[in-house]
Amino acid sequence: MKVESMSSAPTPRVSPPPPPAASGLDGRLKALYQRQGRLMNLHLDLLYACDLDCHHCYLDEKKRPQASTATIIDILGQAADMGALQVLFSGGEIFLRKDLFTILEAARRLRFHIRLKTHGGNITAGDARRLRELGIAQVDFSVYALDPDVHDGFTQKRGSLERTLRGIDLLVAEGLRVEVKCSVTTHNLGHYRELNEHFEARGIPCTLSAKIRGTNSVTTNTYDLNADFEDKVEVELYRLGQAGGPRTPGVAPAPTESYFCSAGRTMIYVAPDLEVYPCVAYPRPVGDLNVQRLADVWRSEAALADVRRSTRADTHLPGESAPPTVGICGTCPARSQCSYCPGSAYIESAGDALIPPAVVCAAAFAKLEAVTRWEGGERPTPLHATTAKATRSLFPIAVNLGVLRPAGPTAHGGEHAGGCSCG
């Protein structure tokens, strides 16, 4: 059964505000902050508790303690004093905190650009109005299918789709910018396109990702949810179709200049118990705000120097040194499509962020294969078509980069611009 609107009193369908006009301002600001070694983005998980239990959740220790209201507001003040511009609040489920709006009001007084992540099932009309009054920049929702049997089965909470869609409707009616995130897994492979087109038709951006990462306790228990290689290629082909084709090819930077992402460089993540990490996907502790100031953690060369200095030229196989000047990633044909994630590498290797992780390699080669097929004239299959798929293993790669390409057509086309998904 497909769900259109789930509220008992239907909310008028109001188009959300358009995204800001494209400009290079964000990129220039980020480059400036990187050159100056300054904190630009603060990510705060307010709690790990959640009233859903999604199969792919990377938070597998949901009973960790959470900081007090006063402590969180103090950390926001510390970040503002450091010149940080943006704050992302997430969880767990942020609307389970009774002091959420007290925290948001403090962030607004400090003039932060504020973004929220939520499943939205607890949002009321009054909450939506207050979020608009606070000038919240964006609210991200997770939706996995328009079929409640699929979505609710994935969240393990009956009625969760109905409540999430109601939350989206309430925010859209208030004119807030909303974005939907959909993790494409073995549970919802037949549903992501219908979901994407439903929200895009309403003017609500929808981001699809077929990469399911490991957990914050440094395990790969969630990897079984990853689709096989051919299904990942189908997802990437579909994304290319939605975007009107590949981006203009660009020149990949030299490996020695190819930094991984913004983790620990312009952004930092603070967990509910005040442990500090380079980012939410990189569970390597670098500080503790129970006993340190945020500025002291940020300036700590011992904690963050190697995170900030590491490039693709440092990547290597287990037990081996990095090949001189290029690293093992510098010779990879999929490097232009790769959003290398040191956090995924850290989890997969149980502690080494420079060993290329299979889950990232699979995503990069799926993107490369999709681009190659697109340039050869292939387009996504129609929405309701069924096609026979070859059986592919997601992880033939493991840590053996000599067999990175899954069996099948070669995809060693030209260079294509890749992008970092972190921060």
Q: What is the pLDDT of residue 257?
A: 67
User: Please, what is the average pLDDT of the chain?
Assistant: 85
C-alpha dihedral sign at 45, 47, 48, 53: negative
- 384 vs 62: which has the higher pLDDT: 62
Domain 37-243 - what CATH class? Answer: alpha beta
Q: Provide the residue type at 154 as one letter.
A: F
Q: What is the pLDDT of residue 87?
A: 99
Mean pLDDT of 176-199: 96
pLDDT at 45 over 50: yes
pLDDT at 411 over 80: no
Q: What is the pLDDT of residue 131?
A: 99
C-alpha dihedral sign at 275, 312, 258, 140: negative
pLDDT at 414 over 60: no
Q: What is the pLDDT of residue 384?
A: 52
pLDDT tens readout for residues 215-269:
877 888 889 999 999 999 999 999 999 999 998 655 666 766 678 899 999 999 9
pLDDT tens readout for residues 151-177:
999 999 999 999 999 999 999 999 999
Residue 118 confidence class, pLDDT cut points 50, 70, 90? very high
C-alpha dihedral sign at 216, 314, 338, 187: negative
Largest CA distance in the chain: 64
**In the chain, count of helices (H) and strands (E)?**
12, 9
Q: What is the pLDDT of residue 251?
A: 61
| Range of lowest pLDDT (122-131, 380-389, 393-402) | 393-402
Are 209 and 184 in contact by the 8 Å Cβ rule? The answer is yes
Nearest to 341 by CA among 304, 310, 296, 299: 310
Q: What is the pLDDT of residue 323?
A: 84
Token pair, residue 230, equals 């051919």
pLDDT at 207 over 90: yes
pLDDT at 393 over 60: no
Q: Indicate the pTM of the whole model.
A: 0.84
Distance CA 133, CA 131 (A): 5
Task: Report percent pLDDT > 90 for the chain.
Answer: 68
- 267 vs 2: which has the higher pLDDT: 267
pLDDT tens readout for residues 271-298:
999 999 999 999 999 999 999 999 999 9
Residue 92 CB neighbour total at 10 angstroms:
23
Domain spans of the chain, in order of start: 37-243, 251-259+310-423
pLDDT at 417 over 50: no
pLDDT at 415 over 50: no
Q: What is the pLDDT of residue 416?
A: 27
Distance CA 170, CA 132 (A): 11
